[in-house]
Amino acid sequence: MTTYAVTGASGLLGHLAVTGLIESGVAASDIVALVRTPSKVADLSEQGVQVRAADYSAPETLAAALAGVDTLLLVSGSEVGQRVAQHSNVIDAAKNAGVSRIVYTSVMRADTTELVLAPEHKATEEALRASGIAFTLLRNGWYIENFVAQLDQYRATGEIVGASGDGLVSGATRADFAAAAVAALVQPGHENAVYELGGAPAYTMTDLAAALSSALGTTIVYRDMAPDEYAAMLESVGLDAGTAGFVTALEVATSRGDLYTESRDLQHLLGRESTPLAEGVAAAVK
Ligand SMILES: NC(=O)c1ccc[n+]([C@@H]2O[C@H](COP(=O)([O-])OP(=O)(O)OC[C@H]3O[C@@H](n4cnc5c(N)ncnc54)[C@H](OP(=O)(O)O)[C@@H]3O)[C@@H](O)[C@H]2O)c1
């Protein structure tokens, strides 16, 4: 019997991973959901999952949270700038608790990409390798659902504005990334493996606009801007210069292909094709 733990289980990806583990046949009582706020996952405790309090920034919570855990899914945190220290706290506690393998949600080509989000993932990967614990690196691509935060704006204006040109994105749904994580957790043979996970076929922002048009029954177009004009536009609508620069850097990264991969690792882990853009968009707008 293996005991699995999932961090970030109150978040979208972590929650899908816990329910995916149950669907794959793991007994709910062999799953530990690690969360800051247990009341957020009452649905999991009702199903028999062990819910334990754990804060990446509070090492004293992590020792008890990881007691008896064999295989851990470390879902990267959401507090950009603090994540290396936070993830290191989890890795140290896992080592002390005797965790035998950590599956970590990293970012595409974490060790070589210039993507502005990558340095914390690269440092976490290095901490994992240095820990001596077996690892599996899931270098996740972009979530198809990332557009949802801007959906109202797209609907209101009829356009997606960006600076990503015709850059291709190997996006996949959170559900697919969670299913891949479940496969990497429960199947044998993923020790010290590094997977570049991307959906196929890849899409441009023009393709995303077309998929949204069909899903919403209205016309949404993609309008491309030069990066400096895009950053200035973001500042003109109230973003501070740092945030505007960060968002623009992501657009530029997309235009040069940093979110694209030809790897089939996601499809191999899933044992099927990844969910197509149109289907992922239609589900997300519901
Ligand atoms: N590939 C992509 O396109 C993409 C996009 C966005 C994010 N990400 C990364 O993927 C991760 C998972 O995505 P998601 O959609 O599931 O994000 P999410 O819904 O925001 O979930 C983030 C989870 O991290 C937990 N968390 C944050 N700080 C923590 C801390 N100090 N201690 C313990 N738990 C903490 C949150 O707990 P609370 O519920 O307590 O806040 C939440 O459960 C994100 O955290 C981020 O690193 C990837």
Q: What is the distance between the alpha carbons of residues 176 and 165, in angstroms, rounded to a whole number?
A: 26
Q: What is the DSSP letter of 76?
A: P
Dist. CA 251 → ligand 1 center (Å): 21
Adjacent-strand bridge partners of 93: none
Instruction: State the CB neighbour count (10 A cutoff) for residue 31.
Output: 26
Distance 128 CA to ligand 1 centre (A): 19
Q: What are phi and psi of 92, to 5 degrees?
A: -60, -45
Distance CA 208, CA 153 (A): 15
Q: Which domains does the chain carry?
A: 4-140 (3.40.50.720), 141-172+198-261+275-286 (3.90.25.10)
Low-confidence ranges of the chain (pLDDT < 50): none
Q: Which two tokens stand for residue 94?
A: 């896992």
With 0-12 CB in 10 A as exposed, 13-18 as middle and 19+ as buried, what is 245?
middle
What atom of ligand 1 comes closest to residue 56's alpha carbon?
32
Residue 1's pLDDT is what? 86
Using most ligand atoms within 8 A of CB, pick from 78, 83, 173 the residue to mutate for ligand 1.
78
- Cβ contact 184:138 at 8 Å: yes
Q: What is the pLDDT of residue 104?
A: 99
